[in-house]
Structure 1
């Protein structure tokens, strides 16, 4: 008799057992499909975050690496904190690295200070206490930038231009943008010139360089931080923050300009984080010493964005494996129990000449029929379940990530001989939602998984069928 007919008669004659097997498969397939959908949604979100944020490689001086390279002695005594020319990151080197084929965008910045010229005034509404030495603080804080629009304060709206324009990659070396309170204190506006001196303090017994450098005011901005009404050191007052070009900042650091200009840090936006090894090779070919100016990928923002959703996907993956293994074991026990109950049926069929593989095939058809029905039902209800479960899991991970972000501590600046810290970037808000979509590929994956579980659940205990003998079954009942 045809094994498919026997399988159909068996399923239709024992509807309770058929429903139980189908329900068991429905639970397994629904959980497995939900895990697949959550993983797919997380992968799409992570890919979109990578395209949005990009991977940024940073190049800057590593003071420990400079000392270890033997190009300078460890700072000590009167020379503490002094770094020689070997520690200067030249703009010309950065420009060569920028030509790498894996770089989509590059930028560099400089941190400098400037003494006011003889006719230039700092904004200092409250004078310092009598007798206080302010030589090291009566300076402008001058940041060398390529694009004012990329500065965090202007991106987040804490500062905005009120007249003129900002610094751009095409700006001349002597352009400057000043805060409006400094502009009023000096009676200057867009198009006027302001004189500054290099903000480098002399060494013991030395004299300060009083050469004035003229800068053209191209923009005036307004800081969102008002005056405090009490004395603060001039260099820490936001009103005394000026923005110049990288060449201008190099001059104010007492360095050269043009090919000899020095920058503090260079950043390179990569097409993919995996391109870092190629960028390192290109940087070495351009003349960069990897010990002194190492390249590191700053993927903190990307990890902050995708961390919670990645952990949710990892949990879903573990769930898929656990459900698949547990489901295979449970179904194998169910099939083994069914085979034991049907031993007389098997003995009669074998005595009538039925081949053992066909008996095993009948059981496989019965289980696969239940599995196919369960896969169809799982496809109808898994999307809504996956969205609900995924959102709840993700919400918990996001809450943990935000709490952890609030406890961040500043990182050490490897280029600062005085042990300074890097400025903290605003914490990226992690992805807090996922878009679950059910597609043919997901149904195919859960179908393959479900049918695989069904096959294993039948074949593992079904090996006993191949060892059965009709006489032993009918006479001994085993």
Structure 2
């Protein structure tokens, strides 16, 4: 008799056992498919996050590497050692690196200072207290920036332009943006010209740099930090924070801008993802950068913050898939073995009538596979809703843990920063992904189908191998 017909008659005759076996397969396939769907959704979310956030690579001076390289000016006994020209990161070099194909956005800044002049005086709402010595911080804090909007104070709304425009990559070299209180104290408005002196401190034995440079007020901004009502050094007062272009900042540092466009303190390059760092390094070397002295380090904090919880959720789902598959195979193998023992008389009679052992095993495999196929169809129909519920619950727990961890880590130094210094343009502040988008596609159905049938085959063949080693006499006389 055809073993396929026997399998069909058996499934119909033993309907209770058929339903039980199908239900067991349904539970296994549903859990496994849910794990697959959660993993697939997490992978899609991670890819989307990589494109939207990317990773930020920072280039800045490694002072220890400069000293070890011998390129720093050394102490000769008469004058102290200085960083020297070997520690200058030139703007033209950074511009060439910005042209790399893996860079989606770049920015750089120059930390500088500026001495006041008759045409622009410091804002000092509270005079120096009587009997207190001048602390020597009577100058402006002048930051040279490529794009003012990328600074965190302007991104998060603490500071805002109230007239004119901020500094952009295409701004004129002599543009300056000043604070509203400073503008009122000096009677300045957008379009007025001001004069500033270089603010770099002279090296011992050298005359101070008294050069002056003219700037045009391109914008006025309002700082979110009010006056404290008590005396503070002029440089630390928020109203004395001015912004110039990187070229303007280089001039105020006393650096030559004719040949190399000036100097920058640090440069940041936004990449599509952390994997692009090697390509960026290759492009930087080709542009002439010494990555020993000016290393490139990736700050992928935003990307990790965004995808950390959903990645851990996917890892848990993957572990669940493995455990369910192994446990399901073991349980089904025990069920099939028990069924084979109950059907020992049937097996012995069929073998005594000349039925081939592989066909007997094939009959059991068809029975189990038929139950598996029905279970796979039911699991495919209902797994998306269940997977969404499970995924949302797991992800909510991971997001809560990530936010608590983030709150405890606020203010901790960035381990990826050179010399322990974190660049201000370190990427957008982001919240973890808190929603998982479950989708069931043909590939997922094919994957669970292959897994379910694989479990069915293992659960049938492992205990069924004993059938191939028995004779009809052994089966009918010994039972087991």
TM-score per shorter chain, which class?
over 0.9
- The runs of 5 or more residues in structure 1 that have no matched partner are none
Q: Distance in 2 between matches of 1:449 and 1:235?
A: 68
Give the Cα separation in 2 of the matches to 1:119 and 1:451: 84
Determine the structure 1 residue equivalent to 2:196. 196
Structure 1 residues 412, 53: CA separation in 2 closer, same or farther (over 3 Å shift)? closer
Is 1:309 aligned to 2:310, yes or no?
Answer: yes
Work out whether 1:436 is the aligned partner of 2:438: yes
Change (3 A) 1:262 1:2: same
User: 345-354 or 459-468, which moves further after superposition?
Assistant: 459-468
Structure 1, 326-335 or 96-105: larger mean CA deviation? 96-105
Would the alpha carbon gap of residues 219 and 5 (structure 1) be closer, same or farther in structure 2, given more than 3 Å must change?
same
The answer as to 2:187 corresponding to 1:184 is: no
Distance in 2, Cα, partners of 1:342 & 1:178: 91
CA distance in 2, matches of 1:136, 1:15: 94
2:10 matched residue in structure 1: 10
From the superposition, tell whether residues 129 and 78 of structure 1 become closer, same or farther in structure 2 (CA, over 3 Å): farther
**Aligned-residue offset at 1:36:** 0.9
CA separation of 1:197 and 1:78: change in aligned 2, threshold 3 A = farther
1:35-184 correspondence runs (5 A):
35-72=35-72, 82-184=82-184
Residue 334 of structure 2 corresponds to residue 327 of structure 1:
no
Residue 99 of structure 1 and its aligned partner are, at CA, apart by: 2.7
Please report how far the alpha carbon of residue 263 of structure 1 lies from its aligned counterpart in structure 2 after TM superposition: 0.4
Query: 1:398-436: per-residue Cα shift (whole Å, max 9, x none)?
Result: 1111111122213479666xx766559674211111111
Report what 1:448 is aligned to.
450
Q: Secondary structure at the match of 1:407?
A: helix
Question: Do 1:55 and 1:297's aligned partners in 2 also have CA atoms closer than 8 Å?
Answer: yes
Q: Aligned-pair RMSD on alpha carbons?
A: 2.2
Q: CA deviation at 1:69?
A: 2.3
Q: Measure the CA separation in 2 of the matches of 1:464 and 1:42.
A: 43
> Residues 329 and 456 of structure 2 are in contact (CA less than 8 Å); yes or no, is this contact kept in structure 1?
yes
Matches within 5 A, 1:259-408: 259-408=260-409
Cα deviation for residue 79 of structure 1 reads 6.9
1:11 to partner: Cα distance: 1.4
Alpha-carbon distance in structure 2 between the residues aligned to 1:173 and 1:410: 34
CA distance in 1, matches of 2:218, 2:188: 11
Cα distance change of structure 1 residues 282 and 223 upon mapping to structure 2, 3 Å threshold? same
Contact kept, 8 Å, 2:361 with 2:467, in 1: the verdict is yes
Q: Is the 8 A contact 1:198 1:254 kept in 2?
A: yes
How many pairs are equivalent?
Answer: 476
Q: Distance in 2 between matches of 1:222 and 1:290?
A: 38
Counterpart-to-counterpart distance in 2, 1:359 and 1:111: 83
2:217 aligned counterpart, secondary structure: strand
Measure the CA separation in 1 of the matches of 2:24 and 2:363. Answer: 19
CA distance in 1, matches of 2:416, 2:15: 72
**What is the Cα deviation at residue 39 of structure 1?**
0.9
Name whichever of 361-370 and 220-229 sits farther off: 220-229
User: How far apart are 1:80 and its partner, in Å?
Assistant: 6.9
Secondary structure at 2:176's aligned position in 1? strand
Please tell me whether residue 410 in structure 1 is matched to residue 416 in structure 2.
no
Change in CA separation of 1:48 and 1:77 when aligned onto 2, cut-off 3 Å:
farther
* Cα distance in 2 for residues equivalent to 1:389 and 1:63: 50
Deviations 1:364-419 (A, max 9, x none): 11111111111111122211111111111111111111111122213479666xx7
Alignment of 1:234-253 (within 5 A): 234-253=234-253
Where does residue 225 of structure 2 map in the other structure?
Answer: 225
Q: 1:175, 1:192 → 2: CA distance?
A: 10
CA displacement at 1:309 relative to structure 2: 0.6
Aligned partners of 2:21, 2:61: CA distance in 1, in Å? 66
8 Å CA contact retained: 2:73, 2:81: no
Deviation at 1:9, TM superposition (A): 1.5
Aligned equivalents of 1:458 and 1:415: distance in 2? 60
Query: CA–CA distance in 2 between the matches of 1:433 and 1:414?
Result: 31
Q: 1:117 to 1:414 in 2, by over 3 A?
A: farther
CA distance in 2, matches of 1:198, 1:138: 13
1:64/1:414 contact within 8 Å kept: no
Give the distance between the partners of 1:364 and 1:76, measured in 2 at CA. Answer: 88
C-alpha deviation, 1:243, in angstroms: 1.1
Q: Is the 8 A contact 1:412 1:420 kept in 2?
A: no
Q: Note the alpha carbon deviations across 1:436-462, whole angstroms, 9 max, x for none.
A: 112222111111111111111111111
